């Protein structure tokens, strides 16, 4: 078991001693002033209803809750020079330059979204904020240190040297030089970096009644003992945030992170609010959804409630693969086989090599099932996860999900710092990532954060599919033809992310409606193929899963292998009303929806066609294009809804 | 880089601490020296004049000569700050330049050789890098000043196009689904159009859609949700009357606009953060220009024209 029993003594010793233990790549003076003393009547703390787009029946807002800029160690060392402000400009539709860069600083590539995003959280790694800032800014306390000289002179070596402590066991991970405590802990530089994050978010946020764009202050806690991924994105409700982010070197366990967020944010009467979103459970080799706490003790009800409260969402899909389900494991579900990484740890995902055996317990569907099992014994469900997707872009390009213009991941994988590598822009097992979609009354921090909290959210693998799900017992059979579908859904049921209590033994009924992504004239969206419901329930105390087609179904659609043009018919919209045929009113259950598009070309297919790679002609497979012949040519883009739970 | 150097000692020995303190002091000293050098170069009151020979083509025009002078000043500034020796890109360029002609296994010796050969000034890539680094350093020296609402209002007024807010519309709709009606869609739409003309407030039941449109919505959002040209069609629809049928990928829509908010310019409250950001960027550019004027005054420049 990788979880260690030891923990930070500092947490037990009160705030003053706690400060002494702070080794964060961050930040400022250790006094009670660590906490922003913002008054609760701060006019910037919003109330719902300030926006002109207020819609009580809610609107789908598309965004990205996982983005790295040049403030992240791995991105920076791989050549990222995009600032937090640049990333927000990109999200709002402006063109920016991206790596590699010419010696005079000119970006060799540019990127621009075909459609702006509605919201973004920039989530740079908390661990080395001070180091990254200090090593780049002449005059900082760290700039002339030997370690910073190495950082600048030998970025490839620095990439591994500085990432190494992040792979240390939770109790042994500590900041290296030049951020040793006796060197100042990189605190001043970390404070400036954290301020840059906050200032850029504030400048990008549309506080007018137009509500055109929402930014969230955030960061990533990047614990990865043994390179097993436990990462969480930390997203704050508003501008009231702790005066430093908490990284792996500050708190080695996720429970420590949550306690720190309690102390620094949630327990403060200043309007601070926060949630955490785990990601890449697919690269945790079973660690992400373990059912023991940091001391190795089985979860209890208090733990389960705490986790469900602080972690209402999980990121199911991003650059580094899909975490929905393990093909061939839990149900007859051939469509589960989508963007599976061949690796189960961060190290192997970055370095490549022989594939790892994938671990069933790394996948969200399994966790949702384990949640039901734990609920039946604890009376609380620690894995009550709503669903989002995001990019995890390390190029500073939120929402750049188009398959036909993938620029690479930028943090792991191929280095694109000083020149473009020959062939594909990144390891072929990566992908352009997905989007988070939130159903909210308006495009404001208040409304979007509440949508996250109540799990009225879904994820897509990139397309802007509009997916709506309602669950209840008295929803109309004819809901799909009713012009009051939405109003009835809220009045008689719950939306995605909601919970149903028993209702006279009646079976759960779901109404699912999906519209295809219309795309743009230059990049039309794909047609829909089918809508599926995945049901999880308990049978003999153990989780079992079933997959149902509820609208659309298999078809003959495909892609033209010479042009990537779609071939065959699909649907512009699909709607289905489904009543659970094997409903057991005594058994807890969950239901989530998966919407599939017709097949389309995977990202590398476009680049392989352009390079005239023919896998039957070895001479055409030039350097860097080997991935053309190892990855599937086509794929099925999709959306995953948050579940609706039935809790007897 | 050695791992032992990077990882914090578990029980920091006195020697390790002393080493660390030494490093810190040495670091401060080096930083102090560099800052002192740069400050002296930028402070007209403590003039240390520098002679500079700038080579330009015989056919160079005034603007090109001015640019060459500024670049030469920036390279000199960067060199005197020590960046020709410490910058990773310049070091790598020196190494690559020399590896074909001599042993480059000793990195520091290679750099010294490159500096002695004046490679940072003569190699175009290294030179461009030094210009870039020095330019960024000079630009960072802009002092941040308070920007009040009067100035913001004037700025918005002078840049109305950049601060334009698109028009918005609030509307109701009747939706006929293509997937549900299939071949009947066109006929149903024509029949409904006729009924709406005769009895606009007797709305027949339409088809379901998961979309409930936002209160006030602009053209771009409508296009994003329903398809290109849908937004423009809605914005063009008459106020208070049912529109002609509007086709989308999902079927046919009839809309009745209830409220139309015209295109306008942002208010100061709405645009304050963005305006300040743009003004500050302009401040930095102006400060850079000012610093360059001061810098130029500390140089005695001789122009040598190459045939």
ipTM for this prediction: 0.78
Residue B28 is inside which H or E element, if any? helix B14-42
Angle between helices B14-42 and B268-296 (to 10 degrees): 80
Q: Which of A171-175, A571-575, B176-180 has the lowest mean pLDDT?
A: A171-175
Q: Do A183 and B271 touch (CB under 8 A)?
A: no
CA-to-CA distance for A316 and A308, rounded, in angstroms?
16
Residue A639 has pLDDT above 80, yes or no: yes
CA-to-CA distance for A75 and A66, rounded, in angstroms?
13
Please report the number of interchain residue pairs, chain A to chain B, with beta-carbon separation below 8 angstroms: 197
Q: Do B30 and A155 touch (CB under 8 A)?
A: no
The per-residue pLDDT for A16 is 30
Q: Does A569 touch chain B (CB under 8 A)?
A: no
The per-residue pLDDT for B270 is 76
pLDDT digits (tens, 9 = 90+) for A315-344: 999 999 999 999 988 778 999 999 999 999
Nearest CA in chain A to B177: A573
Among A420, A227, A319, A335, residue whose Cα is nearest residue A594: A335
Q: Which of A242-251, B18-27, B28-37, B267-276 has the lowest mean pLDDT?
A: B18-27
Residue, of B166 and A435, whose pLDDT is higher: A435
Residue A94 has pLDDT above 50, yes or no: yes
The pLDDT-based confidence of B25 (bands split at 50, 70, 90) is very low
Q: How far away is chain B from the Cα of A623, in angstroms, using its nearest Cα?
A: 23
Residue among B8, B93, B208 minimizing CB distance to A485? B208
Residue B42 has pLDDT above 70, yes or no: no
Domain B167-262 has CATH 3.10.50.40: yes
Residue among A53, A174, A574 minimizing CB distance to B214? A53
Alpha-helix runs per DSSP H in A379-461? 445-453
Residue B26 has pLDDT above 70, yes or no: no
Question: What is the percent of chain A with per-residue pLDDT over 70, rounded to a whole number?
Answer: 94
Residue B211 has pLDDT above 80, yes or no: yes
The domain segmentation of chain A, as residue ranges, is 9-459, 465-646
Q: How far from chain centre, in Å, is Cα A305? A: 22
Q: Does A139 touch chain B (CB under 8 A)?
A: yes
Q: Which of A139-143, A348-352, A634-638, B191-195 has the lowest mean pLDDT?
A: A348-352
The pLDDT-based confidence of A583 (bands split at 50, 70, 90) is very high
The pLDDT-based confidence of A21 (bands split at 50, 70, 90) is very low
Strand (E) positions, A189-302?
Answer: 214-221, 232-236, 274-278
The average pLDDT across A519-542 equals 95
| Average pLDDT of chain A to the nearest whole number | 91
* Angle in degrees, CA B76, B81, B87, rounded to 5: 95
Q: Which residues of B touch A514 (CB under 8 A)?
A: 210
Residues 6+ apart with CB under 8 A from B5: A146, A147, A176, A177
* Angle in degrees, CA A441, A444, A445, rounded to 5: 115
Q: How far away is chain A from the Cα of B20, in angstroms, using its nearest Cα?
A: 7
| Cα–Cα separations (whole angstroms), residue B55 to A400, B64, B66, B68 | 45, 11, 11, 8
The pLDDT-based confidence of B9 (bands split at 50, 70, 90) is very low
Tell me the longest C-alpha to C-alpha distance in chain A: 72
Residue A466 has pLDDT above 80, yes or no: yes
Q: How far away is chain A from the Cα of B304, in angstroms, using its nearest Cα?
A: 25
The per-residue pLDDT for B46 is 55
Coil, strand or helix at A422: coil
Nearest CA in chain A to B263: A210
Nearest CA in chain A to B277: A203
Q: Do B24 and A574 touch (CB under 8 A)?
A: no
Q: Does A442 touch chain B (CB under 8 A)?
A: yes
The average pLDDT across A283-309 equals 94
The pLDDT-based confidence of A19 (bands split at 50, 70, 90) is very low
pLDDT digits (tens, 9 = 90+) for B252-279: 999 999 999 988 998 888 788 778 878 8
pLDDT digits (tens, 9 = 90+) for B60-87: 899 889 999 999 999 999 998 888 888 8
Residue A162 has pLDDT above 80, yes or no: yes
Residue among B205, B210, B216 minimizing CB distance to A486? B210
The answer for A 387-426 residues in CB contact with B (under 8 A) is 418
Residue among B6, B221, B223 minimizing CB distance to A147? B6
**CB-based contact A494:A470 (threshold 8 Å):** yes
The pLDDT-based confidence of B93 (bands split at 50, 70, 90) is confident
Q: Do A158 and B1 touch (CB under 8 A)?
A: yes
Which of A63, A182, A520 best tests the B interface by mutation, with the highest count of B CBs <10 A? A182
Question: What is the percent of chain A with per-residue pLDDT over 90, rounded to a whole number?
Answer: 80
pLDDT digits (tens, 9 = 90+) for A107-140: 999 999 999 999 999 999 999 999 999 998 888 8
Q: Which residues of B touch A175 (CB under 8 A)?
A: 8
The per-residue pLDDT for A105 is 82
Residue A584 has pLDDT above 60, yes or no: yes
Q: Do A161 and B168 touch (CB under 8 A)?
A: no
CA-to-CA distance for A37 and A40, rounded, in angstroms?
9
CA-to-CA distance for A479 and B139, rounded, in angstroms?
61
Among B302, B293, B294, residue whose Cα is nearest residue B40: B294
The per-residue pLDDT for A210 is 85
Q: How far away is chain B from the Cα of A624, in angstroms, using its nearest Cα?
A: 24
Q: How far away is chain A from the Cα of B223, in angstroms, using its nearest Cα?
A: 8
The per-residue pLDDT for A48 is 87
Q: How far away is chain B from the Cα of A420, in angstroms, using its nearest Cα?
A: 16
Residue A20 has pLDDT above 70, yes or no: no
Q: CB atoms < 10 A from the CB of B273, how many? A: 17
Residue B33 has pLDDT above 80, yes or no: no
Q: Which residues of A touch B270 (CB under 8 A)?
A: 206-210
The average pLDDT across B128-151 equals 84
Question: What is the percent of chain B with per-residue pLDDT over 90, rounded to a whole number?
Answer: 41
The average pLDDT across A198-210 equals 91
The per-residue pLDDT for A332 is 84
Q: Do A518 and B225 touch (CB under 8 A)?
A: yes
Q: Do B132 and A103 touch (CB under 8 A)?
A: yes
| Cα–Cα separations (whole angstroms), residue B85 to A138, A142, B70, B75 | 14, 17, 21, 12
Q: Does A447 touch chain B (CB under 8 A)?
A: no
Coil, strand or helix at A12: helix
**CB-based contact A182:B12 (threshold 8 Å):** yes
Output the six-digit token pair for B41.
């170069």
pLDDT digits (tens, 9 = 90+) for A371-412: 999 999 999 999 999 999 999 999 999 999 999 999 999 887
Q: Which residues of B touch A142 (CB under 8 A)?
A: 27
Q: How far away is chain B from the Cα of A151, in angstroms, using its nearest Cα?
A: 9
Q: Do B214 and A59 touch (CB under 8 A)?
A: yes
Output the six-digit token pair for A278.
């785990």
Residue among A53, A145, A516 minimizing CB distance to B23? A145
The average pLDDT across B142-146 equals 79
Which of the residue ranges A122-126, A149-153, A354-358, B57-61 has the most confident prediction, judged by mean pLDDT?
A: A122-126
Residue A41 has pLDDT above 80, yes or no: no
Q: Do B24 and A183 touch (CB under 8 A)?
A: yes
The per-residue pLDDT for A171 is 80
Tell me the longest C-alpha to C-alpha distance in chain B: 94
Q: Which residues of A touch B207 (CB under 8 A)?
A: 481, 483
The domain segmentation of chain B, as residue ranges, is 13-42, 50-146+266-307, 167-262
Q: Which of A28-42, A127-141, A518-532, A633-647 has the lowest mean pLDDT?
A: A28-42
Q: Do B34 and A202 touch (CB under 8 A)?
A: no
Q: Do A150 and B261 touch (CB under 8 A)?
A: no
The average pLDDT across A609-616 equals 94
């Amino acid at each position: 078991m990788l979880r260690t029993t030891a923990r930070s003594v500092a947490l037990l010793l009160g705030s003053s001693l706690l400060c002494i233990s702070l080794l964060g790549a961050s930040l400022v003076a250790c006094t009670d002033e660590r906490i922003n003393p913002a008054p609760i009547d701060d006019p910037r703390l919003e109330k719902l209803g300030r926006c002109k787009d207020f819609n009580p029946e809610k609107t789908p807002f598309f965004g990205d809750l996982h983005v790295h800029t040049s403030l992240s160690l791995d991105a920076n060392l791989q050549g990222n020079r995009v600032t937090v402000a640049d990333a927000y400009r990109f999200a709002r539709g402006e063109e920016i330059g991206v790596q590699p860069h010419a010696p005079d600083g000119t970006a060799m590539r540019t990127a621009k979204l075909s459609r702006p995003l509605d919201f973004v959280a920039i989530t740079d790694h908390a661990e080395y904020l001070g180091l990254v800032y200090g090593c780049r800014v002449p005059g900082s306390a760290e700039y002339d240190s030997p370690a910073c000289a190495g950082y600048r002179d030998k970025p490839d070596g620095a990439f591994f040297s500085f990432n190494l402590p992040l792979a240390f066991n939770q109790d042994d991970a500590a900041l290296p030089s030049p951020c040793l405590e006796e060197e100042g802990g990189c605190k001043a530089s970390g404070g400036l970096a954290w301020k840059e994050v906050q200032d850029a978010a504030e400048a990008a946020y549309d506080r007018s009644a137009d509500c055109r764009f929402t930014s969230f202050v955030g960061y990533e806690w990047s614990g990865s003992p043994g390179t097993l991924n436990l990462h969480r994105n930390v997203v704050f409700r508003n501008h009231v945030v702790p005066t430093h982010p908490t990284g792996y070197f500050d708190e080695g366990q996720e429970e420590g992170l949550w306690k720190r967020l309690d102390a620094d944010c949630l327990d403060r009467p200043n309007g601070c609010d926060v949630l955490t979103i785990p990601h890449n459970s697919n690269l945790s080799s079973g660690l992400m959804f373990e059912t023991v706490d940091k001391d190795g003790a089985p979860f209890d009800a208090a733990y389960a409630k705490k986790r469900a409260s602080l972690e209402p969402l999980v990121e199911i899909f991003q650059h580094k693969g899909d975490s929905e389900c393990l093909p061939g494991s839990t149900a007859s579900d051939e469509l589960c086989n989508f963007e599976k990484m061949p690796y189960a740890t961060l190290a192997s995902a970055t370095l490549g090599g022989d594939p790892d055996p994938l671990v069933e317990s790394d996948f969200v569907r399994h966790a949702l099932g384990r949640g039901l099992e734990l609920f039946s014994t604890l009376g609380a469900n620690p894995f009550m996860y709503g669903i989002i997707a995001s990019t995890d872009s390390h190029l500073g390009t939120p929402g750049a999900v188009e398959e036909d213009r993938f620029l690479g991941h930028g943090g792991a994988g191929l280095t694109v710092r000083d020149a473009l590598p020959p062939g594909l822009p990144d390891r072929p097992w990566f992908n352009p990532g997905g989007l988070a979609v939130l159903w909210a009354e308006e495009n404001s921090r208040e409304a979007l954060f509440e949508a996250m909290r109540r799990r009225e959210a879904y994820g897509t693998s990139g397309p802007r599919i509009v997916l709506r799900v309602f669950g209840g017992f008295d929803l109309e059979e004819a809901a799909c033809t009713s012009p009051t579908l939405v109003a009835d859904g809220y009045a008689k049921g719950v939306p995605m992310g909601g919970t149903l209590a028993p209702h006279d033994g009646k079976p759960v009924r779901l109404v699912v409606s999906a519209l295809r992504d219309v795309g743009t004239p230059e990049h039309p969206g794909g047609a829909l193929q089918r809508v599926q419901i995945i049901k999880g329930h308990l049978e003999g105390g153990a989780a079992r899963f079933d997959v149902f087609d509820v609208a659309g179904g298999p078809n003959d659609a495909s892609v033209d292998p010479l042009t990537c043009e779609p071939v065959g018919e699909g649907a512009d919209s699909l709607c289905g009303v489904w009543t659970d045929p094997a409903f057991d009113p005594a058994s807890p259950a969950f239901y989530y929806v998966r919407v599939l598009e017709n097949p389309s070309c995977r990202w590398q297919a476009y680049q392989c066609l352009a390079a005239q790679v023919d896998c039957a002609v070895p001479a055409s497979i030039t350097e860097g294009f080997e991935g053309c012949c190892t990855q599937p040519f086509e794929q099925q883009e999709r959306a995953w809804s948050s579940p609706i739970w039935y809790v007897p | 880089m050695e791992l032992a150097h990077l990882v914090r000692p578990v029980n920091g020995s006195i020697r390790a601490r002393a080493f660390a303190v030494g490093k810190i002091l040495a670091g401060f000293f080096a930083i102090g020296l560099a800052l002192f050098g740069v400050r002296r170069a930028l402070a007209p009151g403590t003039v240390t004049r520098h002679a500079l020979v700038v080579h330009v083509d015989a056919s160079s025009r005034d603007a090109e000569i001015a640019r060459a002078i500024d670049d030469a000043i920036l390279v000199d500034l960067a060199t005197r700050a020590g960046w020709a020796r410490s910058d990773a890109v310049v070091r790598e360029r020196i190494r690559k330049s020399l590896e074909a002609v001599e042993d480059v296994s000793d990195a520091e010796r290679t750099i010294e050789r490159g500096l002695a050969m004046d490679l940072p000034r003569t190699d175009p890539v290294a030179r461009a890098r030094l210009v870039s680094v020095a330019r960024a350093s000079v630009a960072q020296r802009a002092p941040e000043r308070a920007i009040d609402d009067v100035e913001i209002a004037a700025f918005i007024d002078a840049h109305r196009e950049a601060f334009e807010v698109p028009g918005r519309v609030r509307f109701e709709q009747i939706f006929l689904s293509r997937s549900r009606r299939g071949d009947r869609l066109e006929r149903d739409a024509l029949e409904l159009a006729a009924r709406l003309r005769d009895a606009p407030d007797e709305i027949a039941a339409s088809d379901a859609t998961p979309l409930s449109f936002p209160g006030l919505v602009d053209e771009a959002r409508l296009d994003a949700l329903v398809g290109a040209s849908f937004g423009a069609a809605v914005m063009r629809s008459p106020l208070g009357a049912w529109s002609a049928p509007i086709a989308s990928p999902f079927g046919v829509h009839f809309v009745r606009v209830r409220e139309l908010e015209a295109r306008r310019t942002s208010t100061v409250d709405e645009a304050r953060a963005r305006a300040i950001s743009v003004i500050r960027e302009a401040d930095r550019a102006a400060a850079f220009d000012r610093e360059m004027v001061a810098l130029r005054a500390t140089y005695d420049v001789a122009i040598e024209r190459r045939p």
